[in-house]
Amino acid sequence: MPAGPLERGRRLSRKSGRRGHGGHGRDGADRHERNAPRPQPSHGRSRSTLERSDGFRRGPLTKVAPEGTDTSAAARSFARPSRAGQDVIFLYGYHTVREALRSSRRKVLKLRATEAAAARLGEEIAAKSVAVEIVPAEEIARRLPPDAVHQGVLLEARPLESIDISEIPPDGLVIVLDQVTDPHNVGAIVRTAAAFGVDAIVTTERHSPDFSGALGKAASGGLEHVPIAAVTNLARALAELGEMGYLRVGLDASGSEP
């Protein structure tokens, strides 16, 4: 069944999610990062392990694999962890990482960032007490697919827990996705859902993308604002929503009626 909105009665008000735009270079860094001044290392310290006065630590620069080495498998593994039993995900992009750092629901483990990006996220980093490793933009790009626009940040975190259908408000607005597999499309849906105050998104555990990587970047922080219910049986979930009083409306681009 294609994606469609379900609603009953009043729609609960929600703060709209915000999305931002910026110019990006080929290395994934935005114009703020490229123009920001770069601190000079203090005397007597190794440049590869520089400890800065603001608390950030420049991590050792990792050598890029020799020319001809196949790193595509490693990049795919890094950007898309396995769904079954996954306990670590990776998020990149300024707004995506910023909202993850601000979220009380998100457990963060480590942040890799350029000096400029870390400075922009200084308030969120301090509030979350996350470990930060300052690295060049090339080091972040090396860990991601070639087309990933990382904007100088890469966050290692725990995935958010899926909610149960029974936790969805009975008088809210819900979006149900049936085997929508493109991560950019799902991410755009999540971003829009956050902006319009959607109470939950219901999707299938199988035949749906992981809520990290490219999907997280496309969602632009929306993952932290819209609860996700991943179910094994979508028909049963729709039945439960009907029992809760939801009017279920299906949308199909190839439908014969408007």
Number of domains in the chain: 2
Q: Are 41 and 149 found together in one domain?
A: yes
> What CA–CA distance (Å, rounded) separates 236 from 238?
5
Q: Which one, of 220, 247, 224, 238, lies nearest residue 157 by Cα?
A: 224
Q: What pLDDT band is residue 30 in, cutting at 50, 70 and 90?
A: low
State which residues form the domain around 142. Answer: 31-61+70-157
Residues 6+ apart with CB under 8 A from 235: none
* 176 located within any domain: yes
For 60-86, how does the pLDDT look when each residue is reduced to its tens digit (9 = 90+)? 433 333 344 344 433 333 333 334 347
Q: Are 113 and 172 found together in one domain?
A: no
- Better-predicted residue by pLDDT, 255 or 150: 150
Question: Which of 157, 183, 198 is where one domain is finished?
Answer: 157
Q: Are 207 and 144 found together in one domain?
A: no
Structure tokens at 105: 């629901």
Q: What is the mean pLDDT of residues 129-146?
A: 94
Q: Are 219 and 141 found together in one domain?
A: no
Q: Are 44 and 152 found together in one domain?
A: yes
Q: Across 3-12, 25-34, 89-98, 244-253, which has the greatest mean pLDDT?
A: 89-98
CB atoms within 10 A of CB 103: 18
* 258 located within any domain: no
* DSSP bridge pairs for 133: 57, 112
Q: What is the mean pLDDT of residues 208-222?
A: 95
Q: Are 136 and 165 found together in one domain?
A: no
- Residue 238 sits in a domain whose CATH number is 3.40.1280.10
User: Is residue 203 pLDDT above 90, yes or no?
Assistant: yes
The helix or strand, by DSSP H or E, that contains position 171, with its residue range, turns out to be none
Q: Are 53 and 153 found together in one domain?
A: yes
Q: Are 86 and 144 found together in one domain?
A: yes
Q: What pLDDT band is residue 255 in, cutting at 50, 70 and 90?
A: confident
Question: Which of 135, 157, 179 is where one domain is finished?
Answer: 157
Q: Give the pTM.
A: 0.66
Structure tokens at 51: 């400890």
Q: Are 50 and 126 found together in one domain?
A: yes
Which alpha helices (DSSP H) does 80-222 contain, by range?
94-102, 115-120, 122-128, 137-142, 183-195, 213-219
Q: What is the mean pLDDT of residues 200-214?
A: 94
* 231 located within any domain: yes
pLDDT of residue 26: 41
Q: What pLDDT band is residue 9 in, cutting at 50, 70 and 90?
A: very low
Question: Which of 98, 127, 157 is where one domain is finished?
Answer: 157
- Residue 152 sits in a domain whose CATH number is 3.30.1330.30
Task: Say if residues 29 and 105 touch (Cβ distance below 8 Å).
Answer: no
Q: Are 179 and 116 found together in one domain?
A: no
pLDDT of residue 205: 92
* 174 located within any domain: yes
For 82-124, how does the pLDDT look when each residue is reduced to its tens digit (9 = 90+)? 343 479 999 999 999 999 999 999 999 999 999 999 999 999 9
Q: Are 85 and 148 found together in one domain?
A: yes
Q: What is the mean pLDDT of residues 14-43?
A: 43
> What CA–CA distance (Å, rounded) separates 2 from 139?
40
Residues 6+ apart with CB under 8 A from 184: 214, 215, 218
Q: What is the mean pLDDT of residues 31-46?
A: 44
User: Is residue 47 pLDDT above 90, yes or no?
Assistant: no
Residues 6+ apart with CB under 8 A from 119: 36, 54
Q: Are 35 and 151 found together in one domain?
A: yes
Question: Helix (H, G, I), strand (E, B), or coil: what is residue 203?
Answer: strand
Q: What is the mean pLDDT of residues 186-205?
A: 97
> What CA–CA distance (Å, rounded) separates 116 from 38?
7
